[in-house]
Amino acid sequence: MTLPPGDSELLRRVDVALAAAARRAGEWLACRPGCAQCCQGAFVINSLDALRLSAGMEELRTSEPLVAAEIERRARAWIAEYGADFPGDSRTGLLGDSEADRDRFEEFANEAVCPALDPVSGLCQLYARRPMTCRVFGPPIRMDASAAEGEALGHCELCFVGASTAEVAACEMKIPHEAEARLLDEIALWGETVVAFALLR
């Protein structure tokens, strides 16, 4: 299955919002190429993220087959190490949706390095196709579309060190949750998973 046509517009909107937030943040935003702290620990990705990663791997298999093979090797090694404790179906990579599964995920693979990360350069080898969580990590955001304006904003712990609540709020990155939700409704595919399984689809 191919990515829905609206995905490129969604990513454009996110990139514009990130650039604007970064301009407002200035030196508060510590994110730099090679800073890979956010590339450690498993996190949930949705069907659209998984499809985007899968498309990126298809592109790499054609343009840079050795890089693609190395990413696949790291993904298989990741699953071999952590798959037995995966709170879901380790054959399909689909995350379980029970409360017990969600509770188990809180402690799952928290120190694991993302298999898309090049251990030499510290750069993501699928950067253009990275999941939404990766695209918005750093600036202050509300990941929950239903979060009220007054609720606390989350951001990378390395960023906004010493900033006041008001200074953080002034740099909020607005995420087009509704556009992403519409695209997810369009594809109605797979379910939630983690990066390693998506890389091998």
> What would the DSSP string read from start to end of 19-68?
HHHHHHHGGG----TT--GGGBS---B-HHHHHHHHHHHHHHHHH-HHHH
Domain presence at residue 177 = yes
Longest dimension (CA), the chain: 48
Q: Is residue 1 part of a domain?
A: no
For residue 106, tell me if it sits in a domain.
Answer: yes
Question: Is residue 180 in some structural domain?
Answer: yes
If you write DSSP's letter for every residue of the chain in order, what string do you get?
A: -PPPTHHHHHHHHHHHHHHHHHHHHGGG----TT--GGGBS---B-HHHHHHHHHHHHHHHHH-HHHHHHHHHHHHHHHHHHGGG-SEETTTTEEP-SHHHHHHHTTSSTTPBPTTB-TTT--BTTGGG--HHHHH-SS-B--STT--TTSPPB--TTSSTT--HHHHHTTPPP--HHHHHHHHHHH--S--B-HHHHHT-
Q: Is residue 179 part of a domain?
A: yes
- Whether 110 is in a domain gets the answer yes
Domain residues for 60? 6-199
Q: What is the pLDDT of residue 32?
A: 87
Averaged pLDDT, 179-199: 90
Where does the pLDDT of residue 187 fall: very low under 50, low under 70, confident under 90, or very high at 90 and above?
confident
Question: 35 or 14: which carries more pLDDT confidence?
Answer: 14
C-alpha of 131 from chain center: 4
Chain centroid to CA 190: how far? 17
Q: Do the domain assignments include residue 79? A: yes
pLDDT classification of 183: cutoffs 50, 70, 90: very high
Would residue 19 count as lying in a domain?
yes
pLDDT tens per residue, range 112-171: 999 999 999 999 999 999 999 999 999 999 866 555 555 678 899 999 999 999 999 999
Tokens coding 172: 């909020």
> pLDDT tens digits for 51-108?
999 999 999 999 999 999 999 999 999 999 999 999 999 999 999 989 999 999 999 9
- pTM assigned to the model: 0.90
Q: Which residues contact residue 86 at a Cβ distance below 8 angstroms, ignoring those fewer than 6 apart? A: 79, 93, 95, 108, 194
Q: Structural domain tally of the chain?
A: 1
Structure tokens at 170: 């002034």
